[in-house]
Each structure stands twice: as structure tokens, then as C-alpha cells.
Chains A and B, each alone.
Chain A
Amino acid sequence: MAVVPLLAVFRGDFVTLLVLVDDKDTMKVVADKIAYHVINRRLPPQDAPMRVQYNHRALPPDQTVAQAGILPLSFVEVYYDARERRHAGMDRRSYPGRPLER
């Protein structure tokens, strides 16, 4: 068990976060740890699975940090995989934060 600090962005957010994960964490856990700091704070949740992208490649949800070879201070991006959206959920463009048309 070793702590791995990551530079993380949730797609659609505005800033890069420092998120501490464990090298035994799966990508599903990594996505949850990053989403915790963004979803419902600045971005709405979506009814779709989250993916972790590292080095321009989406990683399998059950792969661990160590298995993926992710080093400390690596950059990862998390995003909702719209292709696997379970229902017709919201995305940012239809989110009610946009002002109503007059």
C-alpha cells in the first residue's frame, strides 16, 4: 500500500486537483475519489459510468494504479462515458444553470 499523489481533472471542471490515491486502488475507486471533489460541487452527476484516462488511454475500471503503471504526480482525467449512459441523463449543455431564453 503506497500513497500516489495525482494531478487530476474531472472533464468539464476548471482546475487541476491534487488527489491522493492508493496504488492498490482500482480505476473505479480512483474515479470516485476524484469525482468526490467535483461532482455536486461544480458539476452535476450523470447517470453514466466514469472512466479514468491516462496517457490518452481509457483504463479498465478494475485495473489498479500499480497495474496501470501510474507514477506519482501523473496527470489523469476522469469523465462520464456517455456511450454507456444508462438513462437519458443530463449533460452540461442542457443543465439548468444556463439562463432561460427570453
Chain B
Amino acid sequence: MPKLDRSEWYDLARDMNWQFKYVRDTEVFPEALSESKGIRPKAWWNWDEPYKISYRDYVKNQAEKESGVYTVRSALARSGFFEKLDPGWKAAIIAHYGVFAMPEYLATFGEARMGRFGRAAAWRNMALFGTLDEIRHGQLQFSFPHALLNREPRFDWAHKAFHTNQWGAIALRHLFDDMFTANDAVSMAIQLTFVIETGFTNLHFLGLAADAMETGDVEFSTLISSIQTDEARHAQQGEPTLRLLMQHGKKAEAQRLIDVMFWRGWRAFALLTGPATDYYTPLAHRRLSFKEFMLEWIIKQFNDQFRDLGLERPWYWDLFLQELDWLHHALHLGLWFKRPTLWWNPDAGVSVEEREWLEAKYPGWHDRFGTYWHTIAENLRLGNIGHTHQETLFVVCNMCQIPVCSPAVGAPPRQVMRDGRVYTFCSEPCQWIFEQNPARYAGHLSIIDRFLAGHIQPPDIAGVRAYMGLSPAEQGTDATNYSWALELPQAAVKSVA
């Protein structure tokens, strides 16, 4: 039998769309899971994507990728490479696995929901591959840290983090539940695949893959590069969904979905990728600052896409650009102060050379943040370790669940009273997101709400750490055992000379 060219059979074999006679459309595609956005069923059948991969090709490609990745892992497992890695880089990858392994697994459910409730056969087909991709990403990112457990027990947090009440895990569960675990297919295509996977995941995975290679962590670089090739494909579910919404006059709804998740994605990536890029990655191996990465990978790309699709930049764009200069520096300082509540050892990353780099990349850094680190270094040199810890909780936002940091003197957090409860927000966009759908978010309790409601016992800082599930052996400390602080007086003398 002659073999047809793929283009001759692909659409026919894939597009198994039909009109229902025996059940109502709303029974097959309940709005809660599918969200038609008011677009009639048949119109969705025009949904199309550019990859048009067959299952046979998919399996062949994935098998080759798996073989390549696991070969690298096997070779490196015997090489003792991990011991040679910089302590800051170790922090970056231990943090990464705790943050990403379980969400990759959870994203399987999101993709599967699109695979069942996506409103076009072409989309469901693509989402099936996405489902298989996410199973693979979850397995990879559990398997790799598992192989390193004998070198560093805290790789266990790749699996453990999301099963605890560690404050970052609470923040990430809130974000990822909103984005895919509890999202409808149409909103998810835009919020997960368009906003996060084509935008922020690019930043984190491509940026860190490049940094990993520079640092000599071939294993991590190979792993996340392999994952990113899948992401590039299944992330294509967002754009056709957006185009369809735009064609049917649903620009306002599309814009709202983007504006909500762009802000949420920004806050999370500022917390996670910002410190890893500007503080944990060894100075000699930093190619771009976090801000430069954002400008190159996020802002340019989104600007182009917004223009191409006829969308606007999110209404808070100017505020977002301002935050590029300070937010992740503040969050890094907060992470370091709260290091016993982390499952990794944060690298302060403020040696004399690193401070100069930070000032060069972020003019004004010395005045805004260097003074804090000076006081911290003084305490360390004097042996006042207790003063380098925080004995109370940082207030967190009731939307992003991230500490409420302030760029300006006297800028109070935003507060809203609803049904007798006070909600606190770090910023206008976080408040706006809450007010878009209060019923969706109102029931959630932040770590502060839980503390005040008596869920954390004893109600002190030791009780808080226990509540977060961190044993004393797991609690983070400074990645370089404070060497940066001890070098400072000598360096200061040198600079005077």
C-alpha cells in the first residue's frame, strides 16, 4: 500500500468533530470545565496548530529524547560532578526541583482536561501529547533529584515540598491551582500555555539551561533543555485559542485572562528565578542579569505577540517595569532572612565583586539594598547570628502569597474588607485579580491567616517552622557559610588603598 504524505491524511484523521444528537453540547462540554466564552460549538472546529505531529513521530522523537537525557544522567551519576558544583548553583537546582517537579505532574491533569474538554478535535489531539509530555516532565524531575539523594538529602523536597505547608509551597499551590489544577480548558490554554509556557517558562528553562551549562552542570542543562523542546510544542495551544476568541469579539475576556496570569507569573518568577539568576549563579558564569533576561525573553516576546494578536499590554505594564528594578532584590533578602524556612541554602551572593556587579546592573542597588547587607555582614562578623534571622512572620499577600515588600517609604499594603474578613494585597494588580472573581479566592487562608486563626501551634517562630514541615536538618542556612561577610573588611581596606 503506498504511503501517503502526512499532509494528505493528517487533518482528515485528526479532526473527529461532530454535532451531537442524543446529548446536549453543554453535557459534553460543561462550562465549568470547558468555558465556551459564548462561541458556538462549530466555530471552535476552525482551531488549528502548526506542529501537526503524528503519534508515531511523537513516540519516536520522545524515545530519542529520553535516551539522550538518561544517558547523560547515568554517565554523570558516576562522575561525582555534584560535589564540584558551586554552592549557590546547588541552591538553585535544589530549589528548582522542589518548585517544579510536582507542578509538572499536576500539569498532566491540566493537559488531560484540555485533551477531554478542548472544543476542537485538533486541540484535544495536541493536548493529548501535552498530557504525555507532562507525565514525562514529572518523571524526569523526580528521577534526577532522586539519583542525587545520597549526595544531598534535601533533594527529597522535589517530592515533599508540595505536600507541606512551607510558605512557598502554599504560594505555588495557590498559583498553579488557579492556572491549571482548577481551571477550565479555554482559560488554561491562554493562561498556562500562552502566558506561562511561551513566556515565563522560556525564561526559567532557557535561561537556567544556559547558566547550567556555563556552570558545568551538564546534567541539569540537558534535562531542562529536553523538557523545553516539549514545552515549545504543546505551548502552541494558546495562540490558536486566543485567535479564535479575538475573531469572535472576545478581546476583553482574552485580555483579562492574560492580565491576570501575566501578573501572577511575574510575581512567582521574581521570587524563584530572580534570586537564582542574580544571586545564586556564580558570578563568573552569569551571562545576563535577571532584568536583562526579562527584557530579552519576556518583554520583547510579549510585546511582539500582543501586537500580532491585536491585544494590549496589561494595564499595569508601567508598574511591572518598575518592579523589574527592585522586587526580586527585596524577595531575595527576604528569602535569605527566612532561610530556616527554605529547603535549600540560599546564597547571599553579596561578596564585594558581586555587589559591584549588582550596582552595575541595577544602578542604585547599593543605596537601596547594599545598606541592609552591610548591617547583616556586621552582625555576622560580630557573631550576632541571631540578628540575621527574623523572629516574626513577613506579611504575605492574599493573592500571590508572597511577602509584601514595599518599593517606597510609607506605601501601605492594600486592604479590603469582605464578609467580615480583612484581605491584604501587596499591589494594585493583586487586589484587582482578587476582585475579578472574589468567590474563587476568598476561602483561601494565607500563612498569616492560619497563624492568626490558631492553626499553628505553638504560635511562635518554632511552631511556624514545624508547621512548614522542615526538620532542623532540612532547614536552610547560608550557602557559603557566611564567607562573603567575613571577606568584607579586608576588601574594604583594599579599596581604600
**Which residues of A come within 8 Å of B, CB atoms?**
5, 7, 9, 11-12, 14-20, 36-37, 40-44, 53, 72-73, 75, 77, 92-93, 95-100, 102
Contacts and interface: CB of A to CB of B under 8 A. Distances in A.
Interface stretch (B58-66, B91-99, B152-160, B399-407): B399-407
Given A14-B333, A16-B403, A40-B375, 4 more contacts: A14-B369, A43-B371, A95-B374, A100-B495
Interface of B: 330, 333-334, 337, 355-356, 359, 366-367, 369-376, 379, 384, 387-388, 390-395, 403-406, 409-410, 412-413, 415, 422, 424, 448, 451-452, 492, 495-496
Q: Could you tell me the dominant secondary structure of chain B's interface residues?
A: helix
A93 B367 CA distance: 7
A72 B88 CA distance: 40
Given A95-B374, A97-B373, A99-B370, A16 B394 contact: yes
Contacts of A53: 410
B390 A37 contact: yes
Nearest to A96: B374
A7 B424 contact: yes
Nearest to A14: B330
A40 B98 CA distance: 33
B271 to A, nearest CB: 13
B411 to A, nearest CB: 8
B409 A14 contact: no
Given A11-B409, A12-B409, A73-B415, A97 B392 contact: no
Given A73-B422, A100-B492, A102-B495, A19 B374 contact: no
A31 to B, nearest CB: 15
Contacts of B330: 14-15
Closest 4 CB pairs of A and B: A97-B374, A97-B371, A16-B395, A16-B404
A12 B409 CA distance: 6
10 contacts: A15-B406, A18-B392, A18-B393, A18-B448, A18-B451, A40-B375, A41-B376, A77-B412, A98-B367, A99-B355
Nearest to A73: B422
B392 A19 contact: yes
A100 B392 contact: no
Nearest to B493: A100
A35 B159 CA distance: 39
Contact of A17 (B356, B394, B412): B394
Nearest to A33: B392
Contacts of B404: 7, 15-16
Nearest to B326: A14
Contact of B393 (A9, A17, A75, A95): A17
B405 A15 contact: yes
B404 to A, nearest CB: 4
B89 to A, nearest CB: 26
A12 B403 CA distance: 16
Contact of B375 (A37, A97, A100): A97
B77 to A, nearest CB: 41
B62 to A, nearest CB: 44
Nearest to A102: B495
Given A14-B330, A16-B404, A7 B372 contact: no
Contacts of A7: 395, 404, 412-413, 424
